[in-house]
A and B are shown apart, each in its own frame.
Chain A
Amino acid sequence: MSTVMQVKPEAALAGGSCAGVRVCLAAQVPDGGSHRVELPGRPALAVFNLDGQIHVTDDRCTHGDASLCDGEIEDGVVECPYHQGAFDIATGKPVAAPCSIPLRVYRSRVDAEGVVYIQLEQ
């Protein structure tokens, strides 16, 4: 379901409050699936497509060293393949043990060309 790609960081593209970091193309994320993106110098990101809505989170489970892009997605929840802990994708809230630390969710937007951007606040 997921693929790995390298993307160059392009900060402050549109200017003003819309500034963001380019992540990938929305079309690269299968519907109901995920897509792993590695930006240089940052932990990997997981981009999810839930019924056409794009969500971007950290890819690494907060409980252990596993990629959430390898996890099963169902009803807006991603399940870690490691110990079957789970997170609500839209909010990052842990919804199944052993996960207890929320997953970081990034503010994201998709522009007219279908490019996904996230906000990286300091």
Chain B
Amino acid sequence: MHRITLSGTESVLTCAEEDVILRAGLRAGMGFSYECNVGACGMCKFELLDGEVEVLRHDTPGLSERDRKKGRMLACQCRPKTDCTIKIRQEAQCVPKSLPSRQVARLLETVDITHDIREFRFQAERPAAFRAGQYAMLTVPGLGQERAYSLSNLPNDDGLWCFQIRRVPGGAGTSVLFDQLKQGDAVMLDGAYGLAHLREETERDVVCIAGGSGLAPMLSIARGWSAAPKSPSRRLDFFYGGREPRDICGESLLRTLPEFGDRLQFHAAVSAPGATQTKQWTGHVGYVHEVMSAVLGEALREREFYLAGPPPMVQSTLDMLQTQYGVPPERIHFDRFF
């Protein structure tokens, strides 16, 4: 255990030997700025004023040359080696609603969603405390590196954590999950994390935009939206983008929600309808953000947005919403894993 003193405050927290500064802070209920937990978003920059840390990853995209020159580090990538004094930003929105913690979870069952996306259901001892749209870090035996996966279900007292994971061709991580992990096998689950969770309090109509395994958190958002008390006129439009028709998913899962077909609409878009299939595609063709723009147009200006998917999809959507439709960033929720 090492003591971390937060400069400019009265706070001192303890950080377990194997833990990183960011998570130690969140586990203690502090609102350290963050999004991704994996060194990409650049939100958890801090300055080390005293003490020594071990840096886990040096080539993180979250730090610019300029940040490095100024001696900034990422709290998600630093393990204290001694007691430390740090200067770090805290924000009310980053204070976790339930404190993230590590626990063992066992694979209960799997369900194939598409040709390359599979749902993995894990059973843990303690209640599954998270917010719709959040993610957890999984350490899988034989895989070494811990990875962030989004939850697709809703928080529950049964300890059920469901992830929908896309098989990455040639990817070591997903190969272990898809080909080796068996029912009853144990993984280490650490969570929950993430700021792209459902804002139950907002009175706006919602748009969810997903691609690839971004299905999971958007499904969780839609399920949470459906379950939350809200004005009976509220709408949710769910857009899912894929390359080919066989990539499209989510509709059958959303269909079970009472608002489906009425105030909850599903829109699928494929960018390359004839790539490897001859099957006729009669739906939208194009990138999902373009289809969203064509379907909703000016109504986009007043909506609340949740995004998850491949980086180019998220970036193009973000660019369009902010630049073309003038949507302020506070109304666009996503965790930047790139």
Contact = CB atoms under 8 A, between A and B. Distances in A.
Contacts of A98: 35, 41-43, 62, 336
Contact of B64 (A62, A65, A96): A96
Size range of the interface on A?
A: 10 to 19
Task: Indicate the member of B319, B322, B329 with the most A CB atoms within 10 Å.
Answer: B329
A74 B63 CA distance: 17
Contact of B89 (A83, A86, A100): A83
Interface residues of B, number: 24
Interface in B289-338: 315, 318-319, 322-323, 328-330, 336
Interface in A35-89: 62-65, 74, 77, 79, 83-86
B72 interface: yes
A97 interface: yes
Contact of A62 (B35, B61, B322): B322
B330 A83 contact: no
Contacts of B33: 83
Contacts of B315: 100
Contacts of A79: 66
A62 B42 contact: no
A101 B323 contact: yes
Contact of B322 (A83, A97, A101): A101
Nearest to A104: B323
B328 A65 contact: yes
Contact of B329 (A62, A74, A77, A95): A62
A79 B63 CA distance: 13
Contacts of B336: 97-98, 100
24 contacts: A62-B322, A64-B329, A65-B328, A65-B329, A77-B66, A79-B66, A83-B33, A83-B43, A84-B42, A84-B67, A84-B72, A95-B64, A96-B67, A97-B40, A97-B61, A97-B62, A97-B64, A97-B336, A98-B42, A98-B43, A98-B336, A100-B318, A101-B319, A101-B329
Given A74-B66, A84-B67, 12 more contacts: A62-B322, A64-B329, A65-B330, A83-B33, A83-B42, A84-B45, A96-B42, A96-B64, A97-B41, A98-B42, A98-B43, A101-B318
